Each structure stands twice: as C-alpha cells, then as structure tokens.
C-alpha cells in the first residue's frame, strides 16, 4: 500500500511512518529538512497548494495520513491566520485530492475540540472548542468527514 504521511517529523507522524514503513511504501512530508527520517521523506510546505497538488499527482497514495498541523494552542491564538491556513485550508486541499485519487484520508485531530469542562470525552460528545486551535481542528474534521465515509478522524489528547 502506498501511504503519504504529512507532518512526518512530528511525534505522531514519525512513529506512524516508521511503523508503517516496515510493510508499506511510505513517503513522509516535513516542513523543514531536519534529521533524516527512517523512511523516505520530502520537504513540503502544505500551505502552498501547487506543491501539494504536484506531490499527490506524482506519488498517488492510496492512504493519506494528515498529521501536519499548527499544533500549539498559544501559537494558534497569536497567529490565527497561520493556524487557519495550515489546519483548515491545507486540510481542504488534501480532502479534495483524496477524493480525486480515491484515497482514504486519516486526519489527526485533537481533544481541543472539546471545552475540557467534562473530561473523559467519547466520540459522540458534543464538541465545544474554547480556543482557536480547537476551532480550526473541528472545522478541518468537518471537511474530512463530510467528504467521504471512508475518511477517518483520530482525536489525540494533548
């Protein structure tokens, strides 16, 4: 299976890429070139639509694991446009390409889509983000899930 992992230099993306690389053809994307990953990777700014389109057209993955994000809550409050661009706009491009390629999109979201007032949330609990990061992740979740029943959202806790 051919798998693209965005955010491959992050904690979750790097571990997923490494584990999947043992049995699948994996290509990771990173924002900056850092230490080499234990699987093939390319530098890609997912906020630039054309390079994203070019890579997807060339690589043609059957699964896209979208782990890249503007993931720091305070940074998202200080740079709401950046958070919106990375977390929502770029996700929208991946959603459209997943549809074109008939690929499954797995989107890594966050427990920040909840207010935190209750705790021990389950997937059917009502969302109520209280920060910009959580709002962008919820908006992206909605894009992913409305595009295809084959798509999947995975919420991790921060």
Cα radius of gyration rounded to whole Å, the chain = 15
Sheet with strand 2-6: strands edge to edge: 41-43, 25-30, 2-6, 63-66, 104-110, 152-156
Q: Which of 26, 133, 151, 153 is catalytic?
A: 133
102 class by beta-carbon count within 10 Å (0-12 exposed, 13-18 middle, 19+ buried)? exposed
Question: Quick one: how far is CA 60 from the chain centroid?
Answer: 17
| Known catalytic membership, residue 121 | no
Element (H, E) at 27: strand 25-30
Q: Please list, residue by residue across 2-18, b when 16 or more beta carbons sit within 10 angstroms of its beta carbon and e when fewer do.
A: ebbbbbbbbebbbebbb
- Strand bridging mode 104-110 / 63-66: parallel
Question: Which residues are part of the catalytic machinery?
Answer: 133
């Amino acid at each position: 299976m051919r798998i693209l992992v965005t955010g491959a230099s992050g904690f979750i993306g790097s571990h997923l890429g490494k584990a999947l690389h043992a049995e699948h053809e994996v290509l990771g994307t990173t924002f900056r070139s850092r230490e080499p990953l234990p699987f093939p990777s390319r530098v890609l700014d997912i906020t630039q639509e054309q390079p994203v389109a070019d890579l997807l057209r060339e690589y043609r993955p059957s699964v896209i694991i979208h782990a890249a994000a503007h993931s720091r809550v305070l940074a998202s409050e200080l740079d709401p446009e950046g958070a919106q661009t990375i977390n929502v706009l770029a996700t929208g491009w991946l959603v459209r390409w997943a549809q074109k390629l008939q690929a499954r999109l797995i989107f890594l979201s966050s427990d920040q889509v909840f207010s935190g007032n209750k705790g021990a949330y389950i997937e059917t609990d009502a969302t109520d983000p209280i920060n910009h990061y959580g709002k962008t992740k919820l908006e992206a979740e909605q894009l992913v899930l409305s595009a295809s029943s084959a798509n999947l959202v995975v919420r991790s806790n921060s």
